[in-house]
Amino acid sequence: MTPSLNALGIICTLGVGKAAVSEALFAGDDSGLRAESGWTPDRSLPLGAVRTVLPSVPPALAASRDNRANRLLLAAALEIEGDIRAAIERYSVTRIGVVLGTSTTGIENTTVGIDHLRREGQWPDSYRYADQELGAPAEFLAEWLGLSGPCYGISTACTSGARALISAQRLLQMNLCDAVLCGGVDTLARMPINGFLALEALDFARCEPFSRHRRGINIGEAAALFLMTREGGPVQLLGGGASSDAYHISSPDPEGLGAQQAMRAALFHAQLDATQIDYLNLHGTATEHNDRMESRAVAAVFPRGVPCSSNKSLTGHTLAAAGALEAAFCWLSLMDVSHARRLPPHVWDGAIDPELPPLSFTHVGDSLPANGPRRLMSNSFAFGGNNACLILGDAPAGTST
């Protein structure tokens, strides 16, 4: 069973909705990464913030579910609300699941509450412990839509969004659901930003993935939400692979053996050879060790090369949302019919690191092959040696849409 990704709602610093995000993504627009102060002591740093006004949580849920993560998620869901409501009508509320990756949820609300507790000696009236629960975004979405199918969160750091899609596929395969809302959401929050600062992993300029000048990550926020079904659609999730090499709590295996394993597992699942992949969306955080590991892993799996790019110099690293967001970028390429299916460009300073195996980076204007089928891979890697890989592609000719 090969599931289809029949609808996509998306919001990030590139824009709100598929049209705006596509325009900025394929143009290589990095203007969304802007310096902001107030997140770390005595420093400003580039952040991929969503700077538009977000929709309000519905009044019936505002007292228990109002936080930025849920509002960001709601913005993505509203873009495809018509598709969701149609699925509810078709399948019923009991047969639709929700699986979302996250790591920050509403933790910024907790940070504000702790500040209040230290000053006033008590928690503010607005404090809700549930804001920081990792299943909270999925529960909010299910409550808003009145769904009663399987509903849970996945938090495997920066692979969470990708693993949510793999988990959703399993729910369909096991016939526990007929449709699944899946993806990821994470927001800017002081706790993870200062955590990466403590690890000396932040770049105080725009990050430079795979450059010899790379110094670390920029952090962003995003929500990407797919409607996955068994029904035929123009974009399919052809395969997914995951591994956990447990090399180190925060450093990747230098040779990328777990990353290779995840990529090869995705290829096996999709019954594809590496030469059949038309584009690879790299995890590409712009940290010294991750980029070295990933370039070695990619060179091992794709010895003939593959067009590839990291988009974190455009969006920032959106943490648990990254796997879903970057799979969404592959979805946008496949659906970019009127513009010859453009590819996300690799935006960097062009300073080649001679210590890294060479990669075939994409440029603005590059596109997928004119004739299908087209297959795109997306990598996600995380703390603890957690690795995930997705392959998206065109539906076979003759598939109904």
Q: What is the pLDDT along the chain (401 residues), one digit of tens a residue?
A: 899 999 999 999 999 999 999 999 999 999 999 999 999 998 899 999 999 999 999 999 999 999 999 999 999 999 999 999 999 999 999 999 999 999 999 999 999 999 999 999 999 998 999 989 999 999 999 999 999 999 999 999 999 999 999 999 999 999 999 999 999 999 999 999 999 999 999 999 999 999 999 999 999 999 999 999 999 899 999 999 999 988 777 777 888 999 999 999 999 999 999 999 999 999 999 999 999 999 999 999 999 999 999 999 999 999 999 999 999 999 999 999 889 999 999 999 999 999 999 999 999 999 999 988 999 999 999 988 899 999 999 988 755 43
Helix then strand then coil, in percent of the chain rounded to 5, is 40, 25, 40
Amino acid at site 300: A
The tokens 């990254």 sit on which residue? 322
CB 314 within 8 A of CB 215: no
Q: Return the biggest CA–CA distance within the chain.
A: 66
Instruction: Give the Cα separation of 66 and 363 in Å (integer).
Output: 40
119-154 exposure pattern, b = at least 16 Cβ within 10 A, e = fewer:
eeeeeeeeebeebbebbbbbbbbbbbbebebbbebb
CB 165 within 8 A of CB 114: no
Instruction: Give the Cα separation of 208 and 281 in Å (integer).
Output: 15
3-state secondary structure of 38: strand
Triad 171, 284, 363: Cα angle to 5°: 105
The tokens 């920050």 sit on which residue? 104
Residues known to be catalytic: 158, 283, 317
CB 177 within 8 A of CB 150: yes
CA distances from 351 to 180, 209, 355 (A): 42, 10, 12
Triad 177, 183, 184: Cα angle to 5°: 140
Domains in the chain with CATH codes:
4-394 (3.40.47.10)
